[in-house]
Amino acid sequence: MKTIAVLCYPDCQILDVTGPLQVFASANQALEKDFYQIKVIGLTADPITTNSGMRLLPDTVFDEVPELDTLLIAGGRGVASQRENQALVGWIKQQAGTVRRIGSVCSGAFLLAEAGLLQGKQVTTHWRCCDLLSQDYPDLNVDFDAIWIKQGRLYTSAGVTSGIDLALALVEEDCGHSVAMDVARELVVFIKRPGGQAQYSTQLQAQQQATGTVAKAISYIEQNLTSELNLEQLADHCCVSERHLFRLFKESISQSPAAYIEDCRLNLAQQLLVEGTLSMQQVADGCGFIVPDNLRRVFIRRLGVTPSEYKARFISSQQGTDS
């Protein structure tokens, strides 16, 4: 049995803890046996108050932990004060020499960096924290886009829910692709994203910036990607003129409606291709490109590779960014 533990501390991000641990718990269900033993590690035996206000009861204290297979470090606002906790930082450094794998979720990367484990390595964290991580630890190669990155036995992942992606990748390493996909389906994760896929998508940026009419149009686009979409149709749905809607898009998200639609379809196509189970015709249909030739033209123009080449790049490694 492999013991998987997540280190928690006051004001950590609760999803950094529960997301990955649920993946391993669901893997046990998929395997119909206790392949993983799951533990929550605290600084003390007291309940840990997370960023949500919900409390977690630790299974053990960090300096009394039994032998571990995999150690993950949660992120969250509380990481700032824990960077000054020399006993904890020293323990993390010590664990790195004994565990089979060690990794971070979100801003947990700061604790790995403080322990000197990330020097000269390619790493990632939540996109909001990338600049600070680069500034505080200039010897790191911080990737602002990656969902997760593997560097030998060391893993870093992006913000919050990307911890689920990292955990799925670890399950895939241990149990195979089919088990990882079973877990993804059980958790209703749309797709098991590879490490190299961008964490800060066009849609996320647009959702943050768009309001009012543009937000309404974006919602309609995202719900109807497989249908024919054009400016006239969107303007009619939003009860504005085509010219006015075009101007609002440019002002709000610096894109035309047509460009945003193509971005959404391209992003969805990338995800479906990585899944690896659909034909090119099915991918084209599922994204609204209709025919594989349209899909191919957009991939070459936007990414410089064909859909088949893009698929092969991820499927061949199955580990995203692995060095």
What topology is assigned to 202-315 in CATH? Arc Repressor Mutant, subunit A (1.10.10)
Beta bridge partner(s), residue 157: 148
In contact, 14 and 52? CB cutoff 8 Å: yes
Q: Specify the pairing of strand 70-73 against strand 101-104.
A: parallel
Mean pLDDT score, 300-315 = 79
Among residues 8, 12, 106, 264, the one annotated as catalytic is 106
Q: Write the pLDDT tens digit of every residue in 13-22.
A: 999 999 999 9
The CATH homologous superfamily for domain 2-186 is Class I glutamine amidotransferase (GATase) domain (3.40.50.880)
In contact, 104 and 41? CB cutoff 8 Å: no
Q: Write the pLDDT tens digit of every residue in 128-185.
A: 899 999 999 999 999 987 889 999 999 999 988 899 999 999 999 999 878 988 898 8
How far is the C-alpha of 103 from the C-alpha of 133, rounded, in Å?
Answer: 16
Per-residue model confidence (pLDDT) at position 201: 58
Report residue 149: phi and psi, to 5°: -135, 135
pTM summary value: 0.70
Which residue pairs, CB below 8 angstroms and at least 24 apart, start in 307-313? 307/269, 307/273, 307/280, 307/283, 308/280, 310/270, 310/273, 311/273, 311/274, 311/276
The lowest-confidence range among 50-64, 101-115, 192-206, 259-273 is 192-206
Mean pLDDT score, 60-81 = 96
Q: Write the pLDDT tens digit of every residue in 242-299.
A: 999 999 999 888 889 999 999 889 988 988 887 767 899 999 999 999 999 999 999 9
Annotation marks residue 129 as catalytic: no
Beta bridge partner(s), residue 55: 49
Mean pLDDT of the chain: 89
Domain-wise residue ranges, the chain: 2-186, 202-315
